[in-house]
Amino acid sequence: MDDLRDKYIQLIADAGEEAALEALRVQAVGKKGEISLKMRELGKMTPEERQVMGPKLNALKDEINSALSARKASLADAALEERLRGEWLDVTLPARGRRQGSIHPISQVREEVTAIFGEMGFSVAEGPQIDSDWYNFDALNIPSHHPARAEMDTFYMHRAEGDNRPPHVLRTHTSPVQIRSMEKQGAPIRIIAPGRVYRADYDQTHTPMFHQVEGLAIDKDISMAQLKWTLEEFLRAFFEVEGVELRFRASHFPFTEPSAEVDIRCSWEGGQLKVGEGDDWLEILGSGMVHPKVLEAGGIDPNAWQGFAFGIGIDRIAMLKYGIPDLRAFFDSDLRWLRHYGFGALQQPNLHGGLSG
């Protein structure tokens, strides 16, 4: 009996894993285990022998069960210790930096422009980027022989032989959007049309795709004075300068009459633009009173209505506001350029002029 005890106590102490302990339990105290078989033999013993052996076998069974439980617990403890040794965590390590995206400067400027004109009562109109040459040119008083049509370096859509649909172009300005809005909603109207436009041109200040925002206000008695006020308000809000000063220079566009190019007073000290001070003038946008022929093309009676229109290059005013010298930086996939000008993931100028990120 003592041999049996010593054997199992030793085997239990040597067991290295839970499965081995379970096998030992079956071998010793399971239904057909060594000790259970011995207990069955009690029936064949004399009452005297049974009185001695019975309690001894019961005690042995208890002892083995306790040893099994104790060993099982200590194996579990050891396994936990081992896991904790392998899975330690240094809570003093600096946190891993999160890569954060940020709004593209063009999108940001477009939002700024939309918000400013929105407060003045202009809503946003959108339209197709591929349009017929009628919407892009004829409706804007640019007939086929007109030099402006050639000047605009237009991308024409390819047409298969036998395709008799009117020629389509990548819009060279957002003006077709205003024509479509005039047709759809009639007068009075106050809209801005921001969006992508396309011209075959590529250098430091031109990219084949760029962004414009054009504005249109038509009512019974809209005047140049209201155009001037609107543009002054816009430029003051956009450049965040109280004293913006504008200069209207007579110009010519086929779609407006009279037409004016608008400059703002500025200085270029140390290569940095300051709006509202200095002795320089910077051309910033084009504008004018909508040509009667253009009103007519949009289905609006030029004898009853009149209006102003303007066009602004979003990329250009974004470059001026944020000091980006090369337009191509906006469309280059190498974002280090933009980061350099304050548009990186870590510095994120937001709509309210602050830095976040």
Q: Residue 211 carries which side chain, given as an amino acid letter?
A: H
Q: Which residue has the tokens 């005297």?
A: 48
Query: Which helix or strand (DSSP H or E) is residue 60 part of?
Result: helix 47-86
285 binds ligand 2U9 (CB under 6 A): yes
Q: Is residue 294 at the binding interface for ligand 2U9, with CB under 6 A as the rule? A: yes
Query: Across-strand partners of 191?
Result: 123, 216
Q: What three-state secondary structure class fits 200?
A: coil
Pick from 179, 187, 264, 327: which binds ligand 2U9 (CB under 6 A)?
A: 179
- Find the binder of ligand 2U9 among 108, 136, 172, 175 (CB under 6 A): 175
Selected binder of ligand 2U9 within 313, 319, 330, 349 (CB under 6 A) = 313
Report how many residues bind ligand 2U9 under the rule CB under 6 A.
20
Return the ∠ at Cα 180 (arms to 177 and 181), rounded to 5°. Answer: 85
Q: Is 267 helix (H, G, I), strand (E, B) or coil?
A: strand
Residue 113 near ligand 2U9 by CB under 6 A: no
Question: What letter represents residue 302's amino acid?
Answer: P
Which residue type sits at 230? Answer: T
The count of C-alpha atoms lying within 13 angstroms of the C-alpha of 219, restricted to the half-sphere facing its C-beta, is: 10
Q: How many CB atoms lie within 10 A of CB 11?
A: 18
3-class SS of residue 263: strand
33 or 311, CB closer to ligand 2U9? 311
Rank residues 179 and 266 by Cβ distance to ligand 2U9 and give the closer one: 179
Q: Is 311 in the site for ligand 2U9 (CB under 6 A)?
A: yes
Task: Decide if residue 137 touches ligand 2U9 (CB under 6 A).
Answer: no
- Work out whether 309 is an interface residue with ligand 2U9 (CB under 6 A): yes
Per CB under 6 A, does 141 bind ligand 2U9? no
- Contact flag: residue 138 with ligand 2U9 (CB under 6 A): no
Which residues of the chain form contacts with ligand 2U9 (CB under 6 A)?
A: 175, 178-179, 212, 214, 216, 253, 255-256, 285-288, 290, 294, 309-313
